[in-house]
Chains A and B, each alone.
Chain A
Amino acid sequence: MNSVTYNIPAHLFDSYQGRKVIVRSDSSDELVIYLSRGNLENVLYAQLTSLKVELDLDPLLSWACALPIDVVVRNPAAEYPLLYHFSKLLDRHPVRISIPVKRGFVKAVRLALALGFSVKLEVGQPDASLIAEMAEVLDLYMRRSEVSQPVEYFHSTFLSFFNHQQSPNLWIVQEEDPEHFRFITNEGAETVSPRFGEIDLRELKLIVGAQQTGSRLSKTECDGCEFLETCGGYFKWPNQEFDCEGIKTLFSRLNLAAEELRNDLASFQELPGGLPA
């Protein structure tokens, strides 16, 4: 089977049968209607792109299928209380909340984690004030006893630092690697990600490949960066002049935490009897 996963609008579900898909809609009614009449074997998850659902009446709540659901927040600072309406989905579905790194997004992350959701940050290219909010989220992820859910991209990055065998780069974690993901617009046009706008797919593949292998002709901040393997140049898109200093501090903290955990585990293993059960 084709290894590419297509993020498609629900109305195109029938025409993508046989291919791996993420099915999206801003209406839970529409998601349930289209998904109920097709084969779900190749559906990675359903993506609800609006928080504006009718309280308590969401058809996803009574949909017995256990398909994972990704709920997309558009305006996190204002919309985050609406996440309460989705907490019941967790009884029937694995649920992730995708949150754009915009001013005030930390509130949405806090509530999403408090309600037991996994979180994916749609990180983009954050400025200094957003880096400060991301550091706050990193603290929540690493320190708070209530937080046991993954916060991506922190979670995968931590694991890649902790266990170098496991090192998917951010393009894959963020589901934007052109080798593996395509975003199909509502009109049916094929792109990599809404984040890249009109960039030609072939051009992006070339540039991404170069970033990942470090084989670009011109020198960039990525050259010699200790986090290139994990990052893959992800933060240099779409603006290649983006200053990664703030992002690197977050990588450093994750790296340090991974190292400390490795050392702790090693020191336990040196003790008689090994690790506690």
Chain B
Amino acid sequence: MMRNHLSVIFLPTNKCNVNCEYCFENKTADRMSLDQLSTVTVKLLDFMDESSISSLTLHWQGGEIMTMPVEWFEQAHERIGALAQARNKRVDHGLQTNMIAYTPRWNRIVKEMFGNSVGTSMDYPNLYRKMFRGGPDDYTRIWKRNIQAAREAGINVGVISVANRETLKVGAESFYSFFVDELGITDFQVNTPFPGGEQNDTKRDLELENEELSRFFRDLTDVWVERGLPEGVKLGPIDQLIAHFSGEPSCLPCIWQSNCADEFISIDARGFVAQCDCWVTSYPDYFFGNIFEHETLSGLLKNSTARQEFVARPAAIVDKDCIECDYLSLCHGGCPVRTYTMRHTLLEKDPYCQLYKSLFRHTETVAARLAGARVDRTDFRKALIHTGKGKSCGSNSQTTAAAGWQTQPLVQLGRRKALS
């Protein structure tokens, strides 16, 4: 099923230490034992052998991952490392945490297991992230304190932020300033909200207007180009889109892969396997199966009708109107969970389609402008004159088509020649 690399969003605990109103997970008290972890690891390695996959990334989260003891992670790291080494496989680890329970005791394992990096989450303004006792302000205060401490300990902190209606009101400049100027964050990304999991009043009011969101993302792009780009600030997905449209290597988020079912799976503390963390605790009808109850992961995936729905989704919806979209190669119908939670079916395109198209168009234009500026800076002013002449190969295609001819030459060596 997977590509040459296997990615697993791994929830060894379904327990959480905070009470965010818009969380899509249905929490339980379950957590995985070390023996269960070994069982899961062996089944993942078996699957990798069967599928000729050589590397695995475990994206650790919860629940809240820091509700597990540090000592558990130390042993987990050792066990997984030994099992992988015996099978000649590479395993990397990523950590996503709310940082509320962070203490310096985590520093050693963060360094040794997670490359001294953590991913965390915060919104601006914070409306929905709350402690069990206390409001958003208490949460924000503790979070700020802890990420500051982590950064002082040399840990790289990346932040995921979910836009809300107040985000749109304060605007892109204030949003950017909060993370970069006030907190000193240099690596963050903005996500769109969706009402996953059990419904409540907050979730019923969560969906944002495409037009307002589009304006916010366009403004944020412009702020980042002016202030962030020269300073090396990473702002996903905007920086990756600019890279993409500039013909540079890029890493686009899962919502814009040709099919997320080809990219990863998620496993929770009970052993349930599903498409991602958005599904694995909250939507039993879409569970692929339980890894503890199946002899092999490949057998579980092969026999899962729920998984087949995910695999088939892009092909099932492409003919509706995605096929006519200029940005089909970037999006392929967008995110299944946003579609399902807002449209109650998998077989529609992502409800944020209009936003995506607006953002693609804007970043494509910005990338072309930046390319022109780069040429200008090296005194190739004539390039700017050529741009916009309305020739049969327009300004866009001049760079693009030329890049294509360079990267995909007709005459390739050996047997590939016939296919080029």
Contact present for A146 and B315 (CB under 8 Å): no
A126 nearest CB across to chain B (Å): 21
Beta-carbon contacts of A146-171 to B below 8 Å, as 1s and 0s?
11111000011011001000100000
Contact of A110 among B323, B378, B410 (CB under 8 A): B323
Q: Does any Cβ of B come within 8 Å of A196's Cβ?
A: no
Of A30-38, A84-92, A201-209, A234-242, the one with at least 4 CB within 8 A of chain B: A84-92
Q: Does any Cβ of B come within 8 Å of A189's Cβ?
A: no
Contact of A268 among B262, B382, B401, B416 (CB under 8 A): B382
Contact present for A45 and B418 (CB under 8 Å): yes
Contact of B410 among A61, A144, A155 (CB under 8 A): A155
Contact present for B1 and A56 (CB under 8 Å): yes
Write out the residue numbers on chain A whose beta carbons fall within 8 Å of the beta carbon of B311. Answer: 55-56
Contact of B383 among A92, A166, A268, A272 (CB under 8 A): A268
CB interface residues, B 248-306, toward A, < 8 Å: 258-259, 262, 301-302
B376 nearest CB across to chain A (Å): 10
CB interface residues, A 54-94, toward B, < 8 Å: 55-57, 61-62, 64, 67-68, 70, 80-85, 87-88, 91-92, 94
Asked, given contacts A114-B329, A264-B398, whether A166 binds B382 with beta carbons under 8 Å apart, the answer is: no
Asked, given contacts A145-B364, A261-B402, whether A84 binds B259 with beta carbons under 8 Å apart, the answer is: yes
Q: Does any Cβ of B come within 8 Å of A276's Cβ?
A: yes
Contact present for A62 and B418 (CB under 8 Å): no
The residue in chain A whose Cβ has the minimal distance to the Cβ of B396 is A145
Contact present for A149 and B408 (CB under 8 Å): yes
Contact present for A68 and B419 (CB under 8 Å): yes
The residue in chain B whose Cβ has the minimal distance to the Cβ of A67 is B415
Contact present for B418 and A257 (CB under 8 Å): no
Contact present for B392 and A148 (CB under 8 Å): no
Q: Does any Cβ of A come within 8 Å of B182's Cβ?
A: no
Contact of A147 among B330, B386, B404, B419 (CB under 8 A): B404
Please give the number of chain A residues whose Cβ is less than 8 angstroms from any Cβ of chain B in the complex. Answer: 64
Q: How many A-B residue pairs have CB under 8 A?
A: 161
What secondary structure prevails in chain B residues at the interface with A? helix
Write out the residue numbers on chain B whose beta carbons fall within 8 Å of the beta carbon of A149. Answer: 404, 408
Contact present for B415 and A144 (CB under 8 Å): no
Given the complex of chains A and B, what is the CA–CA distance between A92 and B410 in angstroms? 20
Contact present for B364 and A87 (CB under 8 Å): no
Write out the residue numbers on chain A whose beta carbons fall within 8 Å of the beta carbon of B374. Answer: 276
Contact present for A114 and B391 (CB under 8 Å): no
Most chain A Cβ neighbours within 10 Å, of B1, B392, B396: B392
Contact present for B420 and A43 (CB under 8 Å): no
Given the complex of chains A and B, what is the CA–CA distance between A111 and B50 in angstroms? 30
Given the complex of chains A and B, what is the CA–CA distance between A91 and B400 in angstroms? 23
Contact present for B400 and A145 (CB under 8 Å): yes
Write out the residue numbers on chain A whose beta carbons fall within 8 Å of the beta carbon of B415. Answer: 43-45, 67-68
Asked, given contacts A64-B52, A84-B314, A166-B411, whether A144 binds B397 with beta carbons under 8 Å apart, the answer is: yes
Write out the residue numbers on chain A whose beta carbons fall within 8 Å of the beta carbon of B394. Answer: 143
B357 nearest CB across to chain A (Å): 14
Contact present for A150 and B408 (CB under 8 Å): yes
Beta-carbon contacts of A254-266 to B below 8 Å, as 1s and 0s?
0011001100100
Beta-carbon contacts of B326-358 to A below 8 Å, as 1s and 0s?
111110100000000000000000000000000
Given the complex of chains A and B, what is the CA–CA distance between A196 and B255 in angstroms? 46
A-B contact pairs, 10 of them (CB 8 A): A88-B262, A94-B419, A95-B419, A111-B318, A111-B323, A118-B420, A147-B400, A147-B404, A162-B405, A272-B379
- Given A145-B247, A260-B391, A276-B378, 10 additional A-B pairs, CB 8 A: A44-B418, A87-B262, A94-B419, A96-B419, A114-B258, A141-B401, A144-B326, A166-B410, A261-B393, A261-B398
Listed in ascending order, the chain A residues whose CB lies under 8 Å from chain B are 5, 22, 43-45, 55-57, 61-62, 64, 67-68, 70, 80-85, 87-88, 91-92, 94-96, 107, 110-111, 113-116, 118, 141-150, 155-156, 158-159, 162, 166, 175, 253, 256-257, 260-261, 264, 267-268, 271-273, 276
Listed in ascending order, the chain B residues whose CB lies under 8 Å from chain A are 1, 3-4, 50-52, 245, 247, 258-259, 262, 301-302, 308, 311-312, 314-316, 318-319, 323, 326-330, 332, 364, 374-375, 378-380, 382-383, 386, 391-394, 396-405, 407-408, 410-411, 415-420
